[in-house]
Amino acid sequence: MKPFASHQLSGLFLLFLLGTGVLTGCTDGVTSNDFEPVSDGVLQSKTRHANLLAQATKRQIAGKSASQSGLIFSLDTQAILERYGTLEPTAILERYAILERYGIIERYSYKDVFTGFAIWVDTPHVVKLIKAMDRDPDIAWVEPDVYLHPLPMPLAVSTRGGELSPWGAVRMGLTGHSARDVDLYVIDTGVSNDDINVVERLDFREGLDDPVDHDGHGTHIAGIAAAIHNARGLAGIAGGARVHSLKVINGDEVDNGGEVELAEAVAAVEYVTHQKIASPDKPMVANMSLGADMGSEVYNALDDAVASAISKGVTFVVAAGNYGSDAAMISPAHVRDAITVGAYDQSDNFANFSNYGEIVDILAPGVNVVSLATEAVGQTNSLMIMDGTSQAAAFVSGTAALYLSMVPHASPAQVRFALLEHSRKMIHNVPSGTTDRTIDVTKIESDDD
């Protein structure tokens, strides 16, 4: 089952107020006529990434005659409280849900990263609904729900005995420390290998409940960051960290170019944030090795969610992306307070596929990186080699977990500062404006002595 069932209600709202045109709570005195779309077709500043509307996720819902497109929107909570003296998020949604022409179905609700919803709406009416929301004083922003993509570049699988330290771990100075008291959230394809201390497996994909990693990407990431030091398999940077596997990516991702809907990724970040709020003293790191080229530096719902989680104490490490372009346009890589990671190779040269730019905070190994393969597809005791900033991010996630095991009450800003402070200037051929520094684990360890 999905976690947080109370935050992920689905189905049409059965609200029988169509005859009166009057809603309760925050919507007293509001009629459906107040939300007719504007006639000039101009969208105002509340509508974000309108240029991506054609890419909004679309699917055929059982029993529906029209295809459905996804929207995410946030409420202006301060304005609502000032205007009405109370906050009733569902009442804002209901003022649209009762208008049957929109065909609204609620997918997810959010309260910890921002107050808002993800919905399906009948595709023929999605523009009209956006225009209506755009002029609604109780809505802060609305945007299309687009696809994010994982960032794997698989090369090969091999089987071997004993325990291997990846070349990147050796380059960064891994010396066998563990981080068993740190919680590492891997938001990816799942994690399935018993050489990793997985304490929780959840599936955030809508309508699905299969947290197993059938792909290998999430397991590869978790192995780099946290494989247990036990003389077999792989030596992770922060061996034995408590790994929480949050699956958001669909299908056989490596083979078929799997995707994740923005709303589902936000739901996973919402979950992590809720855990931090519930246990503020627990040191937590989250790894996100997925992204989308938004063509803009303007934040989307996932960026807002990640920034909110960081503000509440979760250290987020994100992959810069494998497009060979400016990371400033990539979500969630361009979140300023996250630790954004680019990649380099065994010769200490900047990887030609890695995104670059001022937004990249640090570089880490991302070429010919060996890690654990998923046992779910018969790769028991096997290792897989992959390229990508995904792998680079995993090295940094592990290092962040290692630092938090030593300084458990460090804030995300302090973790970020420590990793950058304890870095080495050593990477060659970096693009203009991009850092040439990489993590040095030995400096972090010696600083704690």
**Mind spelling out the 3-state secondary structure of the chain?**
CCCCHHHCCCCCCCCCCCCCCCCCHHHCCCCHHHHCCCCCCCCCCCECCHHHHHHCCEEECCCCCCEEEEEEEEECHHHHHHHHCCCCHHHHHHHHHCCHHHCCEEEEEECCCCCEEEEEEEHHHHHHHHHHHHCCCCEEEEEECCEEEECCEEEEEEECCCEECCHHHHHHCCCCCECCCCEEEEEECCCCCCCECEEEEEECCCCCCCCCCCCCHHHHHHHHHHECCCCCEECCCCECCEEEEEECCCCCHHHHCCCEEHHHHHHHHHHHHHHHHHCCCCCEEEEECEEEECCCCCCCHHHHHHHHHHHCCCEEEEECCCCCCEHHHEECCCCCCCEEEEEECCCCEECCCCCECCCCCEEEECCCEEEECCHHHCCCCEEEEEECHHHHHHHHHHHHHHHHHHCCCCCHHHHHHHHHHCEEECCECCCCCCCCEEECHHHHHHHHC
Residue 188 annotated to the active site: yes
Catalytic residue, candidates 289, 331, 390, 423: 390
Residue that has been written with the tokens 């596929």 in this structure: 353
Residue 387 annotated to the active site: no
Residue 96 CB neighbours (<10 A): 21
Residues 217/117, Cβ–Cβ less than 8 Å:
no
Catalytic residue, candidates 49, 125, 149, 217: 217
Residue 296 annotated to the active site: no
In degrees and rounded to multiples of 5, residue 303 shows phi and psi of -60, -45
Residue that has been written with the tokens 């921002």 in this structure: 114
Catalytic residue, candidates 76, 145, 188, 345: 188
Q: Which residues are catalytic?
A: 188, 217, 390
